[in-house]
A and B are shown apart, each in its own frame.
Chain A
Amino acid sequence: QVLLVQSGADIKKPGASVKVSCKASRYPLTGYFIHWVRQAPGQGLEWMGGVDPNIGVTRSAPKLQGRVTMTWDTSITTAFLDLTTLTPDDTAVYYCAGETYRENVKSFDSWGQGTLVAVS
């Protein structure tokens, strides 16, 4: 199973940017996608987007486009989430989650421990 380890909690002021990292170990060389998911306090899960480490494809939710960048650094096998122009509504725990995919299979199987980002 892939191991995903995230960076620590962060506190930001409104208007600032935040960068969250997710280091992946033992991920497959094909058919793997790292998603970003956030959870506001007391709320449900929200899919934000993600990156395919092997082919470099990125996807992001329409409501976040323009404020979010998702990247992958092969040299350190780490995914990054950059979110700009923060507002208090961005206060949440941010998770990275790994999806194994192939024909007729899409399996979310690994989750990072979560990173709390507080905007205040």
Chain B
Amino acid sequence: QTVVTQEPSLTVSPGGTVTLTCSSSTGPVTSSSFPNWFQQKPGQPPRALIYNAIDKHSWTPARFSGSLLGGKAALTLSGAQPDDEADYYCLLYHGGPRPWVFGGGTKLTVL
């Protein structure tokens, strides 16, 4: 079965830059994987940040950006703020009987 892998945890300094990645066991992540990224804080539902690998929602802070990097989907946070401390999940489309698969999530600490 398809496995989507993210870094379990990352730490970034306030004002710093960090990149989270998302890879698939089936091969390179491409635009056809339609990567979506979400932020989740404790006790809250996920909040959508990025879709189609690079597109932002109207509410997505400008410091977040998405890309495809070396066969992976990537979420870059530039100018980290304490409020960005959260879990981040990627979601990839694979088609077939189990079309959508979430990554295991990255716990981002701003410290």
Contact = CB atoms under 8 A, between A and B. Distances in A.
Interface of A: 35, 37, 44-47, 59, 61-62, 95, 97, 104-114
Contacts of A95: 45-46
A47 B91 contact: yes
B48 interface: yes
Contacts of A35: 100
B18 interface: no
Contacts of B102: 37, 44-47
A35 B57 CA distance: 19
Contacts of A108: 36, 38, 48, 51, 91
B52 A106 contact: yes
Contacts of B97: 62
- Closest 6 A/B residue pairs (Cβ): A107-B51, A106-B34, A111-B45, A45-B102, A47-B100, A44-B105
A111 B46 contact: yes
Interface in B63-103: 89, 91, 93, 97-103
A107 B47 contact: no
A44 B104 contact: yes
A61 B101 CA distance: 10
A112 B36 contact: no
A45 B98 contact: no
Nearest to A110: B48
B51 A45 contact: no
Nearest to B99: A59
Nearest to A95: B45
A61 to B, nearest CB: 6
Nearest to A109: B48
Contact of B55 (A46, A62, A107, A114): A107
Contacts of B31: 104
Nearest to B105: A44
Given A107-B57, A113-B45, 16 more contacts: A44-B102, A44-B103, A44-B104, A45-B89, A47-B100, A47-B101, A95-B46, A105-B52, A106-B34, A106-B52, A106-B93, A108-B91, A109-B48, A111-B46, A111-B48, A114-B45
